[in-house]
């Protein structure tokens, strides 16, 4: 079992960047894949990308290529999602989620609201 705790809500101006953290505890961090999923207000779930917490290897949805960076600091079992060149339609709740290969995403953070407004 792993518990995921995300950083707090953010308010950003268009063109800015945001970095959301996801602190894992309770299990071996490096045995998981961390995925990031976002949900705009009143909308469905949208997958952004994944990161192998051990190797740091990543894969991003084409929509976010060049704008998103997923990293981790293993010593403090924390994953990060950095999204740049923010626009108003990036306003969403951003979730980190953890799972092992083929097992699905069993563990979720509480979500971080990122609001983008001038």
Contact positions vs another protein (CB under 8 A): 35, 37, 44-47, 50, 59, 61-62, 95, 97, 99, 102-106, 108-111
Cross-strand bridge partners of residue 72: 79
Which residue lies nearer to another protein by CB, 31 or 74? Answer: 31
Q: Exposed, middle or buried, 112 (CB in 10 Å: 0-12/13-18/19+)?
A: buried
CB of 58 to another protein, least distance (A): 12
Q: Which is nearer to another protein, 43 or 74 (CB)?
A: 43
* Closest to another protein by CB, 16 or 113: 113
CB of 75 to another protein, least distance (A): 26
Report long-range pairs for 49-52 (Cβ below 8 Å, ≥24 apart).
Answer: 49/81, 51/79
**Are the C-beta atoms of 91 and 41 separated by less than 8 Å?**
yes
- Least Cβ distance, residue 92 to another protein (angstroms): 13
Show the DSSP H helices in the chain as ranges: none
């Amino acid at each position: 079992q792993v518990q995921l705790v995300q950083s707090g809500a953010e308010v950003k101006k268009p063109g800015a960047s945001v970095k959301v953290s996801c602190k894992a505890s309770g299990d071996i961090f490096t045995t998981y894949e961390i995925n990031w999923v976002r949900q705009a207000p009143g909308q469905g779930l949208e997958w952004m990308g994944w990161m192998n917490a051990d190797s740091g290897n990543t894969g991003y949805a084409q929509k976010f290529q060049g704008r998103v960076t997923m990293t981790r600091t293993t010593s403090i079992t924390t994953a990060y999602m950095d999204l740049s060149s923010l626009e108003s339609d990036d306003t969403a709740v951003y979730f980190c989620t953890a799972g092992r290969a083929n097992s699905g995403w069993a563990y979720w953070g509480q979500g971080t609201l990122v609001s983008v407004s001038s």
